[in-house]
Amino acid sequence: MARYDIALIGFGGVNRALAELIAARGDGLEAELGFALRVVAITDLRAGSLVRTDGDGIALAPLLAVAPDGLDFSGMPGGSPEPRNEWVIREVPADIVAEATFTNPTDGEPALSHVRWAIEAGKHVCTTNKGPVALHGPALKELARQAGVSFEFEGTVMSGTPVLRTARRMFGGLAVNGFEGIMNGTSNYVLGRLESGLSFADAVAEAQTLGYAEADPTADVEGYDVQLKVMILANEVLGAELTRADVPCTGISALTAEDVRRAASEGLRWKLVGSAERHADGTVVARVAPVALPAEHPLAGVSGPTNALAFHTDLLGTVTVGGPGAGRTETAYALLSDVIGIHHRAVSGTGILQEARRG
Ligand SMILES: NC(=O)C1=CN([C@@H]2O[C@H](COP(=O)(O)OP(=O)(O)OC[C@H]3O[C@@H](n4cnc5c(N)ncnc54)[C@H](O)[C@@H]3O)[C@@H](O)[C@H]2O)C=CC1
Ligand SMILES: N[C@@H](CC=O)C(=O)O
């Protein structure tokens, strides 16, 4: 039975939910998936760092019993008040680094460095962090290829809904000419709550409590989060090389509760739509903007944190993928699906240097 040792970088909603999955369902996953997972390091800006590479690794249950705000690794064996990210990522023996710190839409840091350090150290990386992937995806993929490790990022678009893998693996033989969709759970949730009579600020606060929003929800309501997702998708699926400047972006912050309710009374639903289209000359034109969709539009009925993405293809016409677009556990599942992808590559021997460890 293979075993993968994991280092969790950032211990907020998503990586904590991954630890919960491993703690609660590890044995079942082992039986089903054919590999075990052992957490050997955790770092967090607020809690510090914790390393334990002997025995069963870090005992997760006692950590998960502590409220997130109260977690402090400094008094624990193997603990430190400092995150010590670079040392942990480079030096602690682990097979996989799961990066889930804040997304920085400007330059991707410090997550970009976290990913680079891991790849340079010969470790596989899975991340839900949109910054490094949207802003430096091709360079990181090339670095990973040269190092013979996997770089996986399914959770960067539509959380645990496997939209990137679906497009990469299931669309063989199809030409994908464009896509449009609802790709931000927070703004979609907020728009729905405005329709129900809530204020904008209260609706955003709810999305934060539910774990949908970014640490700074400006990225959600101003559309930057969707801008990064459009870049990731366009670069992955349409072969584009979009930068942020190529994707004009307007969010939902200028919409009032009254706008949204008046539109609803006229049979229209405001949605934040991200799209990209490949033109005949090969250029890819992308944008993010709120649109008042007629009720019969397929995206108009997509509610709450659910997202949906319609791909425009030559042979099948429009193919739509829908599912959760945000949420702690849903996004932790994306990391688990990345680990499964890493395992499949390891056992099929496709260019991976590190062997699956024998437990
Ligand atoms: N929550 C969701 O539904 C989804 C989140 N994501 C992305 O996943 C990542 C994590 O999301 P959440 O867990 O919800 O965010 P969060 O804000 O709950 O957690 C982030 C954690 O990272 C820690 N952190 C920040 N900078 C750090 C650093 N330099 N070193 C060590 N720790 C650091 C923070 O202390 C915090 O505990 C973000 O990049 C987000 O954009 C992606 C898809 C969905
Ligand atoms: N804040 C994001 C989380 C997932 O990327 C969202 O609301 O969609």
Mean pLDDT of 321-329: 98
Distance, CA of 136 to CA of 10 (rounded, Å): 20
Q: Which of 157, 120, 126 shows the shortest CA–CA distance to 142?
A: 120
Confidence of residue 357 (pLDDT cuts 50, 70, 90): very low
Report pLDDT for 123. Answer: 98
Parse the chain into domains and list their residue ranges: 2-159+329-358, 163-324
CB under 8 Å to 229, separation ≥6 — which residues?
130, 134, 156, 157, 158, 183, 184, 274
Amino acid at 51: V
Q: Let me know: does 56 contact 17? Beta carbons within 8 Å.
A: no
ipTM above 0.95, yes or no: yes
Mean pLDDT of 168-193: 96
Q: pLDDT, tens digit, for every residue of 300-311?
A: 999 999 999 999
Is 106 assigned to a binding site? yes
Q: Which of 156, 203, 126 shows the shortest CA–CA distance to 325?
A: 156
Closest ligand (CA of 183): 2
Q: How remote is the CA of residue 327 from the centroid of ligand 2, in Å?
A: 8
Percent of the chain with pLDDT over 70: 97
Q: pLDDT, tens digit, for every residue of 42-68?
A: 999 999 999 999 999 999 999 999 999
* Residue to mutate (ligand 1; options 8, 11, 14, 21; most atoms within 8 A of CB): 14
Is 214 assigned to a binding site? yes
* Residue to mutate (ligand 2; options 212, 228, 307; most atoms within 8 A of CB): 212
Q: How remote is the CA of residue 115 from the centroid of ligand 1, in Å?
A: 14
Confidence of residue 1 (pLDDT cuts 50, 70, 90): confident
Q: pLDDT, tens digit, for every residue of 78-110?
A: 999 999 999 999 999 999 999 999 999 999 999
Task: Look over the chain and give the mean of its residue pLDDT values, rounded to a whole number.
Answer: 95
Any atom of ligand 2 within 6 Å of the Cβ of 180: no
Altogether, the residues listed in the chain come to a count of: 359
Q: Is 26 exposed, middle or buried (0-12, 13-18, 19+ CB in 10 A)?
A: middle
Report pLDDT for 170. Answer: 93
Confidence of residue 349 (pLDDT cuts 50, 70, 90): confident
Q: How remote is the CA of residue 154 from the centroid of ligand 1, in Å?
A: 15
User: What is the number of the ligand 1 atom nearest to the C-alpha of 334?
Assistant: 43
Q: Which CATH number applies to 163-324?
A: 3.30.360.10
Q: How remote is the CA of residue 72 from the centroid of ligand 1, in Å?
A: 17
Q: Let me know: does 242 contact 284? Beta carbons within 8 Å.
A: yes
CA atoms within 13 A on the CB side of 180: 16
H or E segment to which residue 180 belongs: strand 176-182
Structure tokens at 296: 């019969």
Q: How remote is the CA of residue 137 from the centroid of ligand 2, in Å?
A: 19
Q: Which of 347, 353, 341, 356 shows the shortest CA–CA distance to 151?
A: 341
Distance, CA of 134 to CA of 274 (rounded, Å): 14
Give the Å distances, CA to CA, from 72 to 56, 122, 211: 21, 29, 21
Report pLDDT for 236. Answer: 96
Confidence of residue 350 (pLDDT cuts 50, 70, 90): low
**CA angle in degrees (0–180, nearest 5) for 140-186-49:** 50
Mean pLDDT of 241-258: 96
Q: Let me know: does 140 contact 115? Beta carbons within 8 Å.
A: yes
Beta bridge partners of 268: 294
Report pLDDT for 356. Answer: 40
* Residue to mutate (ligand 2; options 104, 214, 273; most atoms within 8 A of CB): 214
Any atom of ligand 1 within 6 Å of the Cβ of 44: yes
For the question of whether the overall pTM of this predicted structure is more than 0.90, the answer is yes
Mean pLDDT of 174-180: 97
Q: Let me know: does 156 contact 132? Beta carbons within 8 Å.
A: no
Any atom of ligand 2 within 6 Å of the Cβ of 15: no
Q: pLDDT, tens digit, for every residue of 15-52?
A: 999 999 999 998 888 899 999 999 999 999 999 999 99
Any atom of ligand 1 within 6 Å of the Cβ of 327: yes
Confidence of residue 177 (pLDDT cuts 50, 70, 90): very high
Any atom of ligand 2 within 6 Å of the Cβ of 186: yes
Res. 267: pLDDT tops 60? yes
> Is 141 among the catalytic positions?
no
Fold of 2-159+329-358: Rossmann fold (3.40.50)
Report pLDDT for 271. Answer: 98
Distance, CA of 349 to CA of 343 (rounded, Å): 10
Residue from 123, 141, 229, 271 carrying the catalytic annotation: 229
Res. 175: pLDDT tops 50? yes
Is 130 assigned to a binding site? yes
**Residue with CA at minimum distance from ligand 2 atom 4:** 326
Res. 249: pLDDT tops 60? yes
Report pLDDT for 358. Answer: 34
Mean pLDDT of 342-350: 87
Report pLDDT for 351. Answer: 45
Q: Let me know: does 243 contact 108? Beta carbons within 8 Å.
A: no
**Residue with CA at minimum distance from ligand 2 atom 3:** 326
CA atoms 240, 288, 310, 190: torsion sign: positive
Any atom of ligand 2 within 6 Å of the Cβ of 213: yes
Crossing angle for the helix pair 185-195 and 200-209, to the nearest 10 degrees: 130
Q: How remote is the CA of residue 136 from the centroid of ligand 2, in Å?
A: 20
Res. 354: pLDDT tops 70? no
Q: pLDDT, tens digit, for every residue of 209-219?
A: 999 999 999 99
Any atom of ligand 2 within 6 Å of the Cβ of 225: yes
Res. 150: pLDDT tops 70? yes
Distance, CA of 144 to CA of 96 (rounded, Å): 13
C-alpha 152, offset from chain centre? 10
Amino acid at 178: G
User: What is the number of the ligand 2 atom nearest to the C-alpha of 186?
Assistant: 7
Mean pLDDT of 154-179: 96
Structure tokens at 341: 């992808």
Mean pLDDT of 231-247: 97
